[in-house]
Structure 1
Amino acid sequence: MKKILILFITGLLSAFSWADDITGRVVSVHDGDTLILLTPEKKQIKIRLAAIDTPEIGQPYGKKAQKALSDLVFDKNLTARSNQKDQYGRFLAQLYLGGVWINAEMVKQGDAWVYRQHSRHTRDPLLLAFETQARKEKKGLWALPESQRVPPWEWRKSRWTQGKHISSLSEPSQWACGAKRTCSQMTSCEEARFYLKQCGISRLDINQNDIPCEKLCR
């Protein structure tokens, strides 16, 4: 109990260190970790829940994760605490509904993974503790057969790799190194992966998770 209390305090301190607060009503839930906030000024803000990752809609449990987040936040007023945007302009945020930390709730309920693509020193120990407990209690996605419990970042990578392989069998590469250098110039995930892997354009992989241009490759 003492250890969990220490982790809880640590988690609160790290979570509340985020700089900018955005308040608004949730008007859309895209999936288990992405939503739209409508601010009092009637501005729509796209939010990506920080530090967690949920199954994609096409994965087992993907729609359940989406419903779980919707049940927690849809049509409710909450606060998004963020000090960072991703390369697509989404705010990476910790979400709070009153005193409830939504990111943590998704992990506690077994609806989300702690995002392992983050470096070790940035992972929240409290979230890791919640995930361990949810796994032990077989909550949510942890009740799935192991063969269906594929981390979403691995599922995305596998899907893109398969797509690239099929493309390479059907036609020769139509891209040439030096022609493009930014995500805004890419027309497909396969093209972005070519420029990352074959041409070494590392700026396409801003999160350093072997996934280029995530707006295309998600």
Structure 2
Amino acid sequence: MNALSSISLTVVLLFLTLPVSAQTTKLYGNVVGITDGDTITILTDDKRSIKVRLVEIDAPEKNQPWGQRSKQALSNLIFSLNVSVASHGEDRYGRTLGTVYLGDLNVNKQMVVKGNAWAYTQYVRDQDYFALQKNAESRKVGLWSLAQDQITEPWIWRKQKK
């Protein structure tokens, strides 16, 4: 193997071992809107309005049991505060997909910890979300305090409503 091939291989291997967070974009802004328990709008310093869909979680729909409480919980946590967003691209609706941080607090995980959102099974990459959900469920906090017949995952709820 010549020196150039060796360097190229090393660069490729280094890139592949980078953590996902190193491949994300950081956004900063003030939370100016809460759509529901997993979608917010931030206003950046340069006055761009960016809709952010919190990744790895799915909150109850607005008309679903706990939907309004989930939205209110997210609002109580971050509305009108400055947050950072580790952006992971966009979804098909043009929303930025991201992990939201209030200082060092991972807001996405906090929504699961407090029982205001589910680990979004189909899209979870960080397995901690499942443990956080199981803990919230065992403590019967948030939506887990509802009667069993009122607890339906949002992705199932949406399918039933179509």
- TM-score, normalized by the shorter chain, greater than 0.5: yes
Q: Name structure 1 gaps, 5 residues minimum.
A: 1-12, 161-218
2:46 matched residue in structure 1: 41
Q: What is the CA distance between 1:44 and its match in structure 2?
A: 0.3
Instruction: Kindly indicate whether residue 145 of structure 2 is the aligned counterpart of residue 159 of structure 1.
Output: no
> Which amino acid is 1:83 matched to?
H
2:103 matched residue in structure 1: 98
CA distance in structure 2 between the aligned counterparts of 1:79 and 1:144, rounded to whole angstroms: 32
- What CA RMSD, in Å, does the superposition of the two structures yield over aligned residues? 1.5
User: Equivalences for 1:1-218 in 2 at 5 Å?
Assistant: 16-118=21-123, 122-160=124-162
CA distance in structure 2 between the aligned counterparts of 1:18 and 1:127, rounded to whole angstroms: 21
TM-score (norm 1): 0.64
Aligned-pair identity in percent equals 41
Q: What is the CA distance between 1:45 and its match in structure 2?
A: 0.2
Match of 1:66, SS state, is helix
CA distance in structure 1 between the aligned counterparts of 2:89 and 2:19, rounded to whole angstroms: 14
> Which amino acid is 1:51 matched to?
E
Match of 1:48, SS state, is strand
Q: Cα distance 1:18–1:75, how it changes in 2: closer, same or farther (>3 A)?
A: farther
Q: What is the CA distance between 1:16 and its match in structure 2?
A: 3.5
Q: What is the CA distance between 1:116 and its match in structure 2?
A: 1.6
1:172 matched residue in structure 2: none
CA distance in structure 1 between the aligned counterparts of 2:106 and 2:112, rounded to whole angstroms: 10
CA distance in structure 2 between the aligned counterparts of 1:151 and 1:87, rounded to whole angstroms: 21
Q: What is the CA distance between 1:21 and its match in structure 2?
A: 0.5
Q: Cα distance 1:17–1:128, how it changes in 2: closer, same or farther (>3 A)?
A: farther
> Which amino acid is 2:125 matched to?
R
**Ranges of 4+ aligned residues in structure 1 off by more than 6 Å:** none
Q: What is the CA distance between 1:14 and its match in structure 2?
A: 6.4
> Which amino acid is 1:136 matched to?
S
Match of 2:112, SS state, is helix
1:7 matched residue in structure 2: none
Q: Cα distance 1:18–1:97, how it changes in 2: closer, same or farther (>3 A)?
A: farther
CA contact (8 A) 1:15 1:94 kept: no
Higher relative contact order (CA 8 A, sep 6+): 2
Q: Cα distance 1:18–1:34, how it changes in 2: closer, same or farther (>3 A)?
A: farther
> Which amino acid is 1:39 matched to?
T
CA distance in structure 2 between the aligned counterparts of 1:84 and 1:23, rounded to whole angstroms: 15
Q: Name structure 2 gaps, 5 residues minimum.
A: 1-17
Q: What is the CA distance between 1:84 and its match in structure 2?
A: 1.4
TM-score (norm 2): 0.86
- Give the aligned length: 145
> Which amino acid is 1:146 matched to?
Q
